[in-house]
Structure 1
Amino acid sequence: MKIKLTALAAATLAAAAVTSAVPAFAETAQPRVEATAVSSVLKSGQTLKAGQYLRSPNARYKLLMQADGNLVVYKGSSSIWSSHTWVKGSVVTMRKDGALAITKGTKTLWNNHSWGHTNAFLSLQNDGNAVVYQGKTPLWSTYQWISTLPSGMTLYPYQKVVSQNGVYQLRQEPSGDLALYRSGKLAWHTRTSGHKGAYTVMQADGNLVVYLKGKALWSTHTWRKPNWLAVQNDGNVVVYTAGMKALWDRYHGKR
């Protein structure tokens, strides 16, 4: 199977709706901080501090910067997405370079890797999806990645990477399986079901790993940094180096 290189640029896919099946994340008890709604949009250069949040236009969802440093999307009282950044005193900023970043002082704790897009903004939509846009083009969302999973990023249950043509979806199943679907039909999987709550990490050391509570269940054995994962329009799932060399793909394994 010939490997076709995919573009890193964001596609014009519509942001996926967050369904009620998305599990709640366990959150720590919060110090009392008065919550303040900003709007439904965080513009370029704007920041959310502890207790501030975006509210969807229909008022059903909010994106809250918690006092414990975790950025969380809530539907009512149930959390449906979290940045997993529990560092008190953190803030989230829609940076002018296009990246959404959680920082404390000069230290960056988390970012969504959408830099290189000036005038980008974050919008909390009526479907509960928080999406970074440049104009009308989606660059990133809380529910899905578009064509690539950058180094250091994690897929939690129900999250997915979607090919640019929208035909293929690599989804982290709640059963523990990392599965590729073509138009809703299973095309490939890691055979790690039976491990409820497992998640997948594109590690900074270059290895793609499925974990459960810190224990590795499956990996690509590609220790060469920095790497990134691509879900291509031809249905191949490939781990690439920064120089676009394929190290692993779903048809051949480690190369």
Structure 2
Amino acid sequence: MRGAGVCAILAAAVALPLSPTAHAVTADKTDDKLTAGEILKPNESVKSENGQYKLIQQVQGNLVLYGPGNKALWGTPTSGTTAYATMQREGNLVIYNASNQPLWGTNTAGNPGAYLEVQDDGNLVIYSASNEFLWSRHAYVGSLPSGHTLKTGQWVQSRNGEYRLLMQKEGNLVLYNRADKGLWTTPTGDRPGAYAAMQREGNLVIYSSSNKGVWTTKTAGNSGAYLAVQNQGKVVIYSKDDRPLWSVN
């Protein structure tokens, strides 16, 4: 069993493909992995080796990780429709609806043979075929894609591992260097449970636990924009055609 700690980040996130992997097969329920080409249909699941954590594709559309006591620890924002999950052969974990339209993905394409592992410590990690870290339920590598959120304890890490943008429990979104020195923060403290959303219309917004917007980059009108944490420590919002819209040095 591999630990959750990772020293080096070597892979870049790329665009989500628009069609499911051909010749996908049902997941092997006897192990803790979803390997290249395997799918999870509604009500199907894979478990950690110690049996304490279960990743299940729910009938209502969410892919959810449960821990001890059947407590939900993580889930995809894909409820409201029949859906299935597939670990695609090019490296993306993708949720598709019944019409084979993509609803959500990890943006880890470009890594043929990558696989998803449900770990004994409760982490959910995608590794490349050569066992390099690509994605986890706690961290994004390089960028926060359009439509994705950072909840408390989640972060975006630069590809070289030197910087991370962390959503903290008190409500601030903070940029740290490797020495854990704070370099930049949003003015959103004293809001436990707040989260950051890279909205599909282009705004990065901090929401309170009651879903009230409390801070924004004011970059709306740029559908498909995404946030990047660069190797030099710069945080940038780019349009979908890679024009810089907003930045923090």
* Short-chain TM bin: 0.7 to 0.9
What is the aligned partner in structure 2 of residue 221 from structure 1? Answer: 218
Please report how far the alpha carbon of residue 97 of structure 1 lies from its aligned counterpart in structure 2 after TM superposition. 3.1
Question: Does 2:74 match 1:81?
Answer: yes
Counterpart of 2:87 (choices 88, 91, 94) is: 94
TM-score by length of 1: 0.78
Task: Please state how far the C-alpha of 1:37 moved relative to its aligned partner.
Answer: 4.1
- Cα offsets for 1:55-82 (capped at 9, x unmatched): 1123232212223322111221222211
Cα distance in 1 for residues equivalent to 2:61 and 2:82: 6
Contact 2:148–2:199, Cα closer than 8 Å, also in 1: yes
Structure 1 counterpart of 2:45, from 53, 57, 67:
53
User: When the two structures are superposed, what TM-score results if normalisation uses the length of structure 2?
Assistant: 0.80
RMSD: 2.2
Where structure 1 has 5 or more consecutive residues not aligned to the other structure, the ranges are 1-9, 14-35
Q: Which moved more, 1:187-196 or 1:238-247?
A: 238-247
In the other structure, the counterpart of 2:121 is: 127
Q: Tell me what 1:68 maps to.
A: 60
Structure-2 separation of matches of 1:118 and 1:147: 19
Aligned equivalents of 2:197 and 2:38: distance in 1?
29
Deviation at 1:192, TM superposition (A): 0.6
1:117 equivalent in structure 2: 111
- Given that 2:87 and 2:115 are in contact with CA atoms closer than 8 Å, whether structure 1 keeps it comes out as yes
Question: What CA distance in whole angstroms lies between the structure 1 residues aligned with 2:233 and 2:81?
Answer: 41
Q: What letter is aligned with 1:228?
A: Y
How far the C-alpha of 1:88 sits from its partner, in A, is 4.7
Name the structure 2 match of 1:208. Answer: 204
Which moved further from structure 2: 211-220 or 152-161?
211-220
Paired residues of 1:123 and 1:132 also in contact (CA < 8 A) = yes
Which residue in 2 is equivalent to 1:21?
none
Q: Classify 1:89/1:240 alpha carbon distance in 2 versus 1 (closer, same or farther; 3 Å).
A: closer
C-alpha spacing 1:173/1:147, structure 2 compared with 1 (3 Å): same
Structure 2 residue identity aligned to 1:66: Q
Moved beyond 3 Å, runs of 4+: none
C-alpha distance in structure 1 between counterparts of 2:238 and 2:153, whole Å: 24
Q: Are 1:119 and 1:134, in contact at CA under 8 Å, matched by a contact in 2? A: yes
- SS of aligned partner of 2:135: strand
Correspondence 1:248 to 2:246: yes
1:42 is matched with 34
Distance 1:167 1:132, change over 3 A: same
Structure 2's unaligned 5+ residue stretches are: 1-7, 12-27
**2:187 is matched with which residue?**
191
Query: Identity over the aligned pairs, expressed in percent?
Result: 38
How many residues are matched? 220
1:58 partner SS: coil
- For 1:238, which of 207, 230, 236 is the aligned residue? 236
Is residue 140 of structure 1 aligned with residue 135 of structure 2? yes
Q: SS where residue 12 of structure 1 aligns? A: coil
CA distance, structure 2, for counterparts of residue 68 and residue 225 of structure 1: 27
Q: How far, CA to CA, are the matches of 1:232 and 1:118 in structure 2?
A: 24
> Paired residue for 2:22?
none
SS at match of 1:127: coil
Which residue does the alignment assign to 1:171? 166
- Partner-residue secondary structure (3-state), 1:64: strand
Distance 1:84 1:164 in 2: 25
Paired AA for residue 196 in structure 1? P
Partners in 2 of 1:37 and 1:68 — Cα distance?
A: 21
